[in-house]
Structure 1
């Protein structure tokens, strides 16, 4: 029987099939795997794609059948809700039979929004709603403002100040005779065209157009523009940092260019580099003249004729190319 997540209460027993999402924070009581453990995917919780191992409570896993698990008298102690998804302290206590007690830790938990990747899991709900780890780690989305918008705001302030300043200058030139404040307002209206009111609308329309063009670009299929306020920030990127999981690189690191001193070699000239290295390390070969095409610049890594180590640097490069 399937029920909505909103109807789940603490102490409910939930059966989670393979590839189903966990609806609430639970303690794993039993699994269909013979090892008494199962794997879960936590990419929606912590961004990691590696499967994580979860172990069922030993007391309930050793029961002959699931029906007997429904007949035992037991309770689960769980700590107060908190944000930390990497730690948990609890205890499973059985009041009948031998009165067994099993300490609980993070390996016995199934957090909400994780996915069971192997077998079928049976767990008892310990946190629901806003008390779940995933809900407590969700922060309110903030509106992102691009640097261009901030610069336009500053420019608009400067233009408004210029309008007021010009109006004051005109009043000083005309004099304060008569209803000068009316003339002051009139000059402000006349100079108000300095403020680029339509610029904001024009920029928003332009952002919508090139956001659509980014999504339609055949060189980057599957790209989704989630914010039309900051695409122009990509043109301001100077340094790009990528984490070790390959989120940006897709784990495909390809050597594009090699810099040795003041000389640069691209992938197209690697054959030439290979030939020069072979000639430099071949006994009796004529060394490449310094400054010649493809020659290595002088320095601690420059190839030395007759030196098999060549101070370490080109030898490493040669083995990499070979």
Structure 2
């Protein structure tokens, strides 16, 4: 009894109850600020527009991969349906500008809301599942949205296979920039990079907070968490919606930069690209999906010229899964830990 009496006040009063403390938050925010400032210098360092375009595509794909990685890391759930939120947000933005004549900023906010709303709807249907069941349900629902968008009945809204242009009236600004600048990778880079850093900070804070600890408990043993008095449905749904909102943010930025949306953003290949990028970079860390997305876009550009893109992609994925199970960032993490052990000696 005396042991319990001592233990209970420690649980209540401990600052680690939320998993965060002042020093950790300040250190994380400082790293984020440094990363944001350093990233803003990229357009001044990259020598050509082609490479700059690849980097921008990689960062946009990284937002989609970040959402997938967050679910995999904290709940052990692999999703192939996040393209529904990415593409749904992109289509919503294009429809708002093309059909209703909205300005780019209200349309972007509408797209983000639609993508997040789709995450809520899909989450209500799938978050009770796990493992292969979860993966197949997300894939099925994502492909259902793809099939709807290419149907004849949806053509007046989505353009079916022809896609849909993002229409911006002359003189209208997007984040203070004319549309020509938004379509320029170097000029649009600061917006996309800051959005990526902000999304990563939010996911990091959620992962380190009490919310993230509850998610990891559910991942390790959901039944025990229920017996301990924790509801598991709402945390799982909240995590799914947050990850979907990050993917929707990527879709909004993609639509603005491309000024065009096609069914490809909802397709299975896009879902595979994002999942492969997250796996190659490493699902075990926040930086993994970002590194993986940049590496994947660069590798695609290199492999595509050979005519054997799918072959090389498959070989690279097998190599990572067999020899680098923690992905690229996992290898660097192991090397860093080994270095610190040697330094400690």
TM-score range, shorter chain: under 0.3
Give the TM-score of the pair, scaled to structure 2: 0.19
Pick the structure with greater CA Rg.
1
Structure possessing the higher relative contact order (Cα contacts under 8 Å, 6 or more residues apart): 2
Give the TM-score of the pair, scaled to structure 1: 0.20
Greater helix share, structure number:
2
